Structure 1
Amino acid sequence: MHNLPKLLKKFMSLRTSYLSCIFTLILLSPLQAQVIDKVVAVVNNEVITLSELNAETAEIKHKITETAPADQQEEAMAEAREGALNSIIDKKLIAQKAKEARVFVSDEEVEGTIAGIQKRASLSREQFIEELKKSGLSFNTYQNNIRSQLLQRKVINYDIRSKIVIPESQIREYYEKEYTINAQDGEYYLLQIGFDWDKEEAGSKEKTLQFAKRIHAIAVKGQDFGALAEKYSTLPSAKDRGDIGFFAIDDMSENMARAISPLKPGEVSNIIESPAGYQFFKVLSGDQNNSISKAPYATVKEVIQAKLFEIQMQKDFSSWVKELKENAYIQKL
């Protein structure tokens, strides 16, 4: 224990010597200063150079120059460079972690990824490179970015993703919170399908009624009411799959109240006539049942699980990177 201060002092001395060597190389001569890149940060035993930082900020610099007011460009660029430097530090740490875990990305994997992106964009390699140039990116920088992304994905899969488990209870809890609605006493949660007739067209009213009867019969048989509303209804609620939310009996017209009040959740009303057409409703919750689910649990379980997994991934990744930084030697110069 008594040797600890000496060991720490020796360690810091070695770090200082390492940095001194870097600066000595940079300042050897004017000619060499042009050849040897300026060091902007040190991450463990690796350096980040000015050219790396410039490459990382090329695209955002291009955007700032084009869009930011002249008097704000300097401040915006300073923020962008700081963010880019932090990003490079993260990449260095992840690359070091990957090397430690013997995780690598081959040239073939990088090329395959770029080829896929290029194919989806329907561009030749020459066109693709030209589009990158317009954004301020060289193809070499883009390749390095793709390699970093693939490496990060592999390390995350190895070190984080494989350890995440989303329990059933957590999925259920999210479902109850996000997919369940509680009505006030006496309120009905309704879906609506309706059809307006053309008052200028002879026979339009009768045609509209016959069409309403056809769609009503399909709905009564149990077909997806929301899908029917979205496809056939001419009312504004069609864009919301017929969802018109909560209504109290006192807020309904006499015809509507008479059609709705006897119904139980899940039942479809008779067709009623409105001033401009015909409509009918599906009751999702009534005054004796104040809870309604937006979708059956089984149909959204996988979606919820994926969402919760992604949320947990982001949390674990942030904690993982934070821990990497705390255990690393990082010096911005």
Structure 2
Amino acid sequence: MYKSFKQHWLPLGGLFTILSLFLLPVAAATMVIDRVVAEVNGEIITLSELEEEMAAIGEDHLREVPARERPQARQEVRNQILSGMIDQILVEQQANRRGIFVGDREVEAAMTQIMEDNRLSKEELVRELAKGGTTLEQYRQTLRAQILQSRLLNIEVRERIVIPESRMRSYYEEHYADGGQTQGYHLLQMGFTWNSGDDQARETARQRAIEAREQVLAGSSFRQLARELSDLPSATAGGDLGVFEQDEMTGELQQPILALTPGELTPIMEIGGAYQFFKLLAGGGVARPYADMREEIRETLYQQALEKRFDQWVHSLREDAYIRVMLNEF
């Protein structure tokens, strides 16, 4: 499933877990048995809803965990997902208080744009969603929630963030002047995956990579495109991988990265089941002028400030709310 089908609109982790409003059958019985695991200002979250989110999100994170550590890790993931579901309800309640709503036309327009970005027909979208156990109606509800959240955050958080020029210059001097951090290589990453054995999906992933790289070359923000289009975990950070020393890079990356000067892109490479390309922000003893780095730095500082302000805002919502968690009571 493409990342666009999951968290296409916003990059802020657990808050944007979407509630699935139906119950799971228990064993072979026809009668649904459910329990309340949390209450948020009178709204409840059921065990079946939590388990549905766990199946859709959490289980993927447990595959690499050793078997003996899996029970504890699974409980930690469940707690994190439940916390995100609580935050989701708080955000929706705040949007209702502010009179913010999302109409059907907006949802359909968003879905159409995502299909165009991924070069999918409606039938292909339905098939891709089904692979992840999601229906088209559930996906519409996901988009509606994400648009609502984005609109609310623009009012409550984003519009209040200002990055002073002096802060950007200080960041440049600290991180990029004289060739960057300890002569390391600061990299951005974008990647597009496919299901193993699906040649058509593989070709689609390659075309998506080509188109994304062309957009970057034409002047689009690498970080913004990575958040919107990339299928890799680094997408939530705008593709930012941080700084690597030369000997920390894999052999297949060293040659193309070392051939770059700051600001340039690698060719598209097939790595780890994904078509990927990278951007070198700084490194190799070469410093880019501040004017060339200004927008990259502003975006980095803006995301840092956004995450901090967002955490503070959600904390204030929790302080003013009645929240009861009953997950550990059974």
Into which bin does the TM-score normalised by the smaller protein fall? Answer: 0.5 to 0.7
Aligned match for 2:100, one of 100, 103, 110? 103
Letter in 1 for 2:260: D
Distance 2:174 2:87 in 1: 35
Asked if 2 retains the 8 angstrom alpha-carbon contact of 1:62 and 1:135, the reply is no
The answer to whether the aligner puts 1:325 opposite 2:325 as a matched pair is no
Change (3 A) 1:80 1:108: farther
- 1:58 lines up with 2:51 in the alignment: no
Q: Deviation at 1:236?
A: 8.7
What's the offset of the Cα at 1:81? Answer: 2.2
1:49 to 46, 49, 52: 46
Alignment of 1:114-133 (within 5 A): 114-133=111-130
Aligned amino acid, residue 109 of structure 1: E
Q: Is the 8 A contact 2:157 2:309 kept in 1?
A: yes
| Cα shift readout 1:87-131 (whole Å, capped 9, x = no counterpart) | 110110011111111111222222222222222222222222222
1:147 aligns with 2:140: no
Distance 1:147 1:57, change over 3 A: farther
Distance in 2 between residues matched to 1:241 and 1:121, nearest whole Å: 31
The answer to whether the 8 A contact 1:40-1:49 is kept is yes
Shift in CA distance, 94/80, structure 1 to aligned 2, threshold 3 Å: same
Unaligned residue ranges in structure 2 (runs of 5+): 1-29, 181-254, 263-284
Q: So what's the TM-score if we normalise by structure 2?
A: 0.53
In structure 1, which of residues 314, 319, 322 is the aligned counterpart of residue 307 of structure 2? 314
How far off is 1:180 after superposition? Answer: 0.8
C-alpha distance in 1, partners of 2:325/2:313?
Answer: 21
Q: Hey, what does 1:240 align to over in structure 2?
A: 260
Q: Which has the larger radius of gyration?
A: 1
Instruction: Name the TM-score, length of structure 1 as normaliser.
Output: 0.53
SS in 2 for 1:181: helix
Give the match's secondary structure for 1:41: strand
Give 2:290's aligned amino acid. Y
Q: 1:91 aligns with which of 88, 91, 107?
A: 88
**Distance between the aligned counterparts of 1:95 and 1:237, measured in 2?**
44
The answer on whether the counterparts of 2:62 and 2:74 sit within 8 Å (CA) in structure 1 is no
- Structure 2 counterpart SS, 1:60: helix
Report SS of the residue matched to 1:240: coil
8 Å CA contact retained: 1:179, 1:295:
yes
Within 1, Cα distance between the matches of 2:116 and 2:141? Answer: 19
Matched with 2:296 is: 303
| Equivalence map 1:248-287=2 (5 Å) | none
Alpha-carbon distance in structure 2 between the residues aligned to 1:237 and 1:157: 37
RMSD across aligned positions (CA): 3.2
2:168 corresponds to which of 158, 168, 171: 171
**Which of 35, 38, 44 matches 2:35?**
38
Do the aligned residues in 2 keep the contact of 1:62 with 1:136 (CA within 8 Å)? no
Preserved contact between residue 60 and residue 80 of structure 1 (Cα < 8 Å): no
Higher RCO (CA < 8 A, seq sep 6+): 2
Length, aligned pairs only = 201
Structure 2 letter corresponding to 1:131: E
Letter of the 1:299 partner, please give it: D
Alignment partners' CA distance in 1, 2:64 and 2:256: 39
- CA shift, 1:132, in A, is 1.9
The Cα offsets for residues 24-54 of structure 1, whole Å up to 9 and x where unpaired, read as: xxxxxxxxx9468532211012112233323
